[in-house]
Amino acid sequence: MNVIQHLIAGKKKDLGGFSVQRILPHEKIPMVGPFIFFDHMGPANFEIGDGIDVRPHPHIGLATLTYLFSGEIMHRDTLGYTQAITPGAVNWMIAGRGIAHSERTGLDERAHQHQLHGLQSWIALPKEFEECEPEFFHYPLEALPGIHQSGVELCVIAGEAYGKKAPVKTLSPLFYVEAHMEVDAFLDVPDQYSERAIYVVSGNIEINGKPIQASHFAVIEPGKTTITATHESHIMLLGGEPLAEPRHIFWNFVSSSPERIEQAKRDWVEGKFGKIPGDANEFIPLPEQPKPAPIL
């Protein structure tokens, strides 16, 4: 039986000298549970003096989760937080009614050759939390529960799975798990959630016998699903319960209300998101929207 609803290959997107594999949003599947955005960053190698510079930009209606496998990113935001993101730690930013942040390579990291590799996800907030006060949390590697199974090492990054719950302040039912699998090891996907997906960071796996290669994202049917590693593999498992209302997305804004997104656009143009301490001299302008085609 084919349990795979959709199989999505990463689409390369250039972020200005730094490319990512963009998985979500996708025309076939807008969300998996509350996950509405999923980027695989790198692996990218940088020479001395180089790095990433994602200038200040805004968010509403979502939480961002940054998780690195290698390298370091310096996070700054309008709440005044400055935090180095390092491998295995979770940066969790709840945008709520609005926040702006920047993501750059710090001076210490630029002082030597380095690699950046990781994931960034956006989790849409339930309607009752879309206008909550923005918050920022950092969870070190040691705070995240690990699980050892035969041939499999697991880390629960957010939500609840395999009998463990991460300390991350989630606002709806979800799970996000990292797994390292030895050859021929197998793993059951958590089946208590309505929507689930698997992303292969590296290696090759089979899902109920169907092969899935690296950089592919498989959205799977509800029910018992078993992963088998045909090579040494690094995978991510994620999903949760769908939100009650559809979500609209424009640039970095997510909302159940199109009118709220229009307001966020005006607020960014008018400078109402505030300044980021230590990174107040630059910003990313609101993208131009394509003009509608003329009616003939």
CA distances from 4 to 16, 69, 70, 120, 128 (A): 34, 27, 30, 23, 32
pLDDT of residue 296: 41
pLDDT of residue 49: 96
Do 91 and 64 meet the contact criterion of CB atoms below 8 Å apart? yes
Residue partners of 1: CB distance under 8 A and separation at least 6: 208
Rg value, the chain, Cα: 19
- Provide the residue type at 214 as one letter: A
Query: pLDDT, tens digit, for every residue of 46-77?
Result: 999 999 999 999 999 999 999 999 999 999 99
Q: How many CB atoms lie within 10 A of CB 102?
A: 22
The residues of the chain scoring below 70 in pLDDT are 1, 15-17, 290-296
pLDDT of residue 209: 86
> How far is the C-alpha of 241 from the C-alpha of 69, rounded, in Å?
27
Q: How many H helices and E strands in the chain?
A: 2, 25
Residue partners of 28: CB distance under 8 A and separation at least 6: 6, 8
pLDDT of residue 17: 63
pLDDT of residue 294: 41
pLDDT of residue 51: 94
Q: Tell me how many degrees the CA angle 249-254-255 measures, rounded to the nearest 5.
A: 105
Residue partners of 242: CB distance under 8 A and separation at least 6: 31, 33, 34, 194, 195
> How far is the C-alpha of 13 from the C-alpha of 230, rounded, in Å?
29
pLDDT of residue 78: 98
Residue partners of 233: CB distance under 8 A and separation at least 6: 179, 180, 181, 200, 202, 203, 204, 205
Record the pTM: 0.94
Do 67 and 73 meet the contact criterion of CB atoms below 8 Å apart? no
Query: pLDDT, tens digit, for every residue of 22-54?
Result: 999 998 899 999 999 999 998 999 999 999 999
> How far is the C-alpha of 268 from the C-alpha of 95, rounded, in Å?
14
pLDDT of residue 42: 87
